[in-house]
């Protein structure tokens, strides 16, 4: 949405009197707007390509264009811009179809009193959508930083639900174990990769943790397929799980091979 005080509206309307009526109605209700009126497909497309639109209002029936086609074009080129039908010929079936396709609302010209509340709704949902996207970008950035930090520190993370045996590994944990990212991590897979001389100890830790619910902090070795040995430091503690999901442990596994050899 526009960060200023003026609402930029693209109006698909062939009757200039209706356009003036809509602009006056919004102005009376305290909504300052810049209204760009178009009535043909080429003009509508050019306006979409130009951008700088906060809201689209569209008649359904025009001499050389129709509202559903306009809606589909808008969803393709400007999917984040709210689209509201303002028409005198919109039947119930068509209105339902328009909402299913992606229109925010439909207003009959005989009931223009509904227009301002609908515009306020569009503005509110636009702000919420902007905030949601900002939060999603921040989350992706945070996840990217975390993944990079795990690579640099040679530390992966994991989660383990005891009741189901389900295990979650971060990308770095997959790399440490030398296991393809497409495989599902399991305790059997962990034991298979664990050095034979350390398997009894690792199994004892797993069994004790699953029964007693204690945290763990231990070191063990991996025997890699190429015959090389990795040294790991594994720590974990219980954490709140989803309701009814059983006991959950989260932790970290660090490749300490270089420091061990040093």
Yes or no: say if 103 and 73 are a contact pair by the CB < 8 Å rule: no
Same domain, 127 and 35: yes
Q: Is the pLDDT of residue 136 over 70?
A: yes
pLDDT grade, residue 175 (50/70/90)?
A: very high
Provide the domain limits for residue 21: 7-136
**Average pLDDT of the chain to the nearest whole number:** 87
Closest CA to 220 of 243, 245, 194: 194
Boundary residue ending a domain (136, 167, 198): 136
- In which order are the strands placed within the sheet that holds 248-255? 167-169, 155-161, 248-255, 229-239, 216-223
Contact between 22 and 119 (Cβ < 8 Å): no
pLDDT grade, residue 194 (50/70/90)? very high
Is residue 192 included in any domain, yes or no? yes
Which pLDDT band holds residue 176 (cuts at 50, 70, 90)?
Answer: very high
pLDDT tens profile 217-259: 999 999 999 999 999 999 998 877 655 556 889 999 999 999 8
Q: Residue range 8-34: average pLDDT? A: 89
- The terminus-to-terminus CA distance of the chain in angstroms comes to 58
145 in a structural domain:
no
Question: Does 174 have pLDDT greater than 60?
Answer: yes
Average pLDDT over residues 122-151: 78
Confidence of residue 183 (pLDDT cuts 50, 70, 90): very high
Q: End of a domain among 88, 104, 136?
A: 136
pTM of the model: 0.55
* Position 173 pLDDT exceeds 50: yes
CATH of the domain at 244: 3.30.450.20
Residues 16 and 114 in one domain: yes
Look at residue 144 and tell me if it is in a domain: no
In a domain, 199, yes or no: yes
Residues 12 and 106 in one domain: yes
Q: Decide if pLDDT at 40 tops 50.
A: yes
Report how many domains make up the chain. 2
């Amino acid at each position: 949405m526009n960060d200023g005080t003026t609402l930029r509206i693209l109006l698909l309307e062939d009757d200039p009197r209706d356009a003036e009526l809509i602009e006056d109605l919004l102005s009376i209700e305290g909504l300052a707007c810049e209204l760009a009126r178009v009535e043909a497909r080429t003009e509508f497309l050019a306006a979409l390509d130009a951008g700088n639109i906060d809201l689209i209002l569209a008649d359904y029936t025009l001499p050389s264009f129709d509202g559903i086609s306009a809606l589909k074009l808008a969803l393709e080129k400007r999917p984040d811009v709210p689209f509201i039908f303002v028409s005198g010929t919109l039947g119930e079936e068509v209105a339902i179809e328009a909402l299913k396709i992606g229109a925010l609302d439909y207003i009959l010209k005989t009931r223009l009193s509904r227009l301002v509340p609908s515009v306020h709704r569009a503005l509110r949902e636009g702000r919420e959508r902007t905030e949601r996207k900002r939060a999603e970008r921040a989350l992706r950035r945070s996840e990217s930083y975390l993944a990079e930090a795990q690579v640099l520190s040679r530390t992966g993370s994991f989660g383990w639900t005891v009741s189901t045996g389900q295990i979650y590994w971060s990308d770095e944990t997959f790399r440490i174990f030398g296991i393809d990212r497409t495989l599902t991590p399991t305790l059997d897979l962990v034991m298979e990769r664990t050095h034979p001389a350390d398997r009894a100890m690792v199994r004892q830790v797993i069994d004790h943790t699953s029964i007693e619910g204690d945290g763990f902090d231990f070191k063990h070795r991996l025997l890699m397929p190429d015959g090389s040995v990795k040294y790991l430091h594994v720590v974990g503690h219980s954490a709140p799980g989803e309701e009814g999901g059983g006991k959950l442990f989260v932790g970290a596994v660090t490749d300490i091979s270089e420091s061990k050899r040093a």
